[in-house]
Structures are given as C-alpha cells and as structure tokens.
C-alpha cells in the first residue's frame, strides 16, 4: 500500500479498472481508501472501491489481506450508516469464504468481528456474524461451542422477533442437533423454523434449504416417500436458482427410490431433462448402487462403494442409509444360501456370496446373536451348523387359555354371590 493517497473519484476507480495488472489495480484501490475526505460523494466512491478491492483480493486468493482490510476499514465504518457497514462486513466475510482452505481463518475473523460489534454496540450485525460463526464451528465439528453460541443467540433473536434471522438460526440448530444424533430436538428446531418462515416471505434458496432438511429428517425416520417429496421440492428450488445444492437434492431423491426398492426408476430420473443437467460422479454413484440393488449383487454393491468412495462413504447422509441397505441385502443373501443346509463350510458360503471369509463369519455370528436363524459356528472345522426351528407345542398355550377362562368364570361367580349375600 502506498503512503500517498488518490482522491476518491470515479477517475481513480476507472484508473484501477484499466490498470495493466491486478497488483496495480489493488494498489490503486488501497490508495483511494486512504483519501481523508468524508464527503458523501467520496464515501460513495470508497464503497465502490471496497467492493472492487474485495473481489480482486478474492480472485488472487489473498484471504489474510481481506481480513486485514476489515480491520483497516473500522474508522471508515463510523462515517457510514450501520446498514451499509453490515453489508460491507458480510460481503468481505463471504469473499473470504469463497477462498478454499480458509475455515480456521474464517472462524478467527468472525470471532474478531463479534468482539468489535459488541464494543461498538452493533447488535444487528453481531447477531448475523454469530450465526455465521456457529455454522463455521459446526462445519469444523466443534459442536459444543456451536451449540452454546446458538442457544444464547436463539433466545436473543426471539426476544427481538427478527423472523428472517430466526429462520436461519432455527435451521442451523436443526442441522446441529442432527449431527449430534438428537433427532427429537432436530425436528423441534425445524418445526420452529417452518413456523417462523410461514409468517414472512422467505427467499426461494432458504425455502429450498428448509425442504432439504425436512427430507433428511424424514429419511432418518425411514419415511422415504415423504422424504422424496421434500427432496423434490428442494431440487426444484435449487434448480431454478442454478445452485450447486441441486445435485445433492437429486442424489437424495435417487437414494429414497433405492431405499423403497424402486431402483428401476433411478435410470429414468437421471435421463430426464432435469437430471441430464447434473450428470456426473454424484449421479453415477447412485446409478451404480441402483444397479447393484436391482441385481441383488453384494459384489457390485461393494464395487460401487469402493469406486465412488467420495460420493457414498464420505457423504454422511448417504453412507448411513446405504450401510443399512447393505446389511439388509447381506442378511437376505446369506439366509437364502444357508437355507438348504444343516451343516455347511463357511468357505463355501463365502465363495457363493463372493465376499471375504472373515467378513462372512462375522456377519453370520451377528445374525445368530440377533436370532435371525438358529445355529452355531464350529470354528475348529470352519463350519456353520444350522438347527431346525423347534416346533412349539400347542398344548401349553391352550392350557394357559383354559386356565384364563376358568379364572374369568370364578371371578364372575364371586361377583354374583357377593350380590346375593348383600
């Protein structure tokens, strides 16, 4: 940054835009911000310079310089309205967020801005920065600090009745509780978000986020048909806005189809007009899972999980449901294979199902403990011994029923005799 300043005029902005390289443009804009003039026109030009400078710094991936810019602009913020200050601060924080690998820097920046807003008594801005900080803490899996921050923030915002911010915070709280596997509280927070959203106009992107979270919670309760409807609503909202989250909504729609054993519909959805826009690894992964499910092939299932690890294993929502689906498929296949035998080698079962022996042995022992079938593992000779299901003797239930009926008769006779004696 140069020690001499440039006057805050449109000519200076034009000079920055016409500079031969990006470094010169950035240097000129810094010099414009150093202009001590505080006239209305100068302030307006400086606002434009800040916008251009933050864009240039973002394109150059200079995240630390963006953070320093916020600190440098604090005297300038005292000269402009609080609403414009909030817009600039949030814009610069958004610019930092668009630079990859800056999560820790964003958290530090938000904490610093929260302290400044408290000192300056800028409640409106502080609440929004705190909401952003809670979201960043949740992404970095610091759930306890995020929950503590949100708990105090929810009470404060409810008291002020800021509905739009309340929708954001309740939605964030729902996601946080879902991450902590606290489904009742996640549903309660989502209901609160919907209630607040019904009272105001909610931007389409925010409504899509609410629908997406609703679908995730319904899918967690195994209500896949309702979840599919919510994912479809979210997909339509994000698709209209051309948001990147549209592909995830579509991915979860396909997951719901697979989970309700309608895997044959997956190819049709992907080849539809809307689906063709998002063809890529995410949809290819779901198509591979759908093919494996249709063919009841565990080998194809495992191949899909291995080939599309980033899309399936590393997506916590998909991974949770596919783990359940995999276990169900494995149990069904094993039960079908062992049904003709009373004694069979585990090696033979492993060869038939095309899975490792230790994997099959572990699953069989789990199924025996869960009483999916009666049997035992003879590990000395590597055999599975299947017992015939013991036939229940019908005499015992019949005897119990007879005794129960006799008890009723005796009770009835006792009541009658009591009436006669009275």
pLDDT of 137: 92
CB burial string 292-321: b at 16+ within 10 A, e below: bbbeebbebbbebbeebeebbeebebbeeb
pTM above 0.85, yes or no: no
Strand ranges in 70-128 using DSSP code E only, listed in sequence order: none
Q: How far is CA 168 from CA 76, 84, 159, in A?
A: 29, 21, 15
**Res. 394 pLDDT band, cuts 50 70 90:** confident
Give pLDDT tens digits for 179-218: 988 999 999 999 999 999 998 888 999 999 999 999 999 9
Beta bridge partners of 377: 384
Give pLDDT tens digits for 281-299: 888 989 998 888 888 778 8
Strand ranges in 253-310 using DSSP code E only, listed in sequence order: none
CB burial string 183-198: b at 16+ within 10 A, e below: eeebbebbebbbebbe
DSSP labels for 328-388?
Answer: HHHHHHHHHHHTT-SEEEHHHHHHHHTS-HHHHHHHHHHHHHTTSS-EEEETTTTEEEEPP
Average pLDDT, the chain: 87
More confident position, 331 or 227: 227
């Amino acid at each position: 940054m140069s020690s001499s300043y440039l006057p805050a005029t449109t000519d200076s902005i034009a000079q920055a835009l016409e500079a031969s390289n990006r470094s010169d443009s950035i240097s000129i804009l810094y010099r414009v911000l150093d202009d001590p003039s505080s006239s209305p026109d100068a302030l307006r030009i400086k606002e434009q310079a800040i916008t251009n400078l933050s864009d240039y710094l973002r394109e150059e991936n200079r995240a630390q310089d963006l953070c320093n810019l916020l600190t440098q602009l604090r005297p300038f913020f005292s000269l402009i309205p609080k609403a414009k200050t909030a817009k600039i601060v949030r814009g610069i924080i958004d610019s930092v967020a668009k630079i990859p690998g800056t999560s820790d820097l964003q958290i530090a920046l938000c904490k610093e801005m929260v302290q400044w807003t408290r000192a300056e008594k800028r409640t409106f801005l502080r609440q929004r920065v705190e909401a952003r900080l809670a979201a960043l803490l949740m992404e970095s899996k610091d759930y306890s600090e995020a929950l503590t921050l949100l708990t105090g923030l929810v009470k404060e915002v409810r008291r002020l009745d800021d509905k739009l911010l309340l929708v954001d915070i309740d939605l964030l709280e729902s996601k946080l509780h879902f991450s902590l596997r606290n489904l009742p509280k996640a549903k309660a927070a989502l209901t609160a978000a919907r209630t607040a959203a019904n009272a105001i106009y909610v931007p389409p992107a925010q409504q899509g986020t609410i629908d997406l979270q609703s679908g995730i919670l319904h899918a967690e309760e195994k209500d896949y048909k309702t979840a599919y409807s919510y994912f479809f609503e979210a997909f339509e909202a994000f698709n209209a806005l051309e948001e990147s989250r549209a592909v995830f909504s579509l991915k979860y729609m396909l997951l719901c189809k697979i989970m309700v054993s309608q895997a044959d519909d997956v190819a049709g959805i992907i080849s539809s007009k809307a689906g063709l826009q998002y063809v890529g690894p995410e949809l290819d992964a779901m198509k591979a899972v759908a093919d494996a499910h249709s063919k009841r092939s565990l080998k194809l299932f495992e191949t899909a999980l291995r080939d599309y690890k980033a899309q399936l294993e590393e997506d916590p929502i998909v991974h949770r449901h596919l783990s359940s689906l995999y276990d169900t498929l494995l149990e069904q296949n094993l039960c079908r294979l062992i049904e003709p035998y009373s004694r069979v080698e585990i090696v033979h079962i492993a060869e038939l199902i095309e899975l490792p022996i230790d994997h099959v042995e572990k699953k069989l022992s789990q199924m025996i403990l869960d009483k999916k079938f009666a049997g035992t593992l003879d590990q000395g000779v590597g055999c599975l011994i299947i017992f015939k299901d013991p036939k229940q003797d019908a005499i015992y239930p019949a005897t119990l029923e007879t005794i129960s009926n006799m008890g009723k008769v005796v009770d009835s006779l006792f009541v009658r005799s009591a009436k006669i004696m009275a």
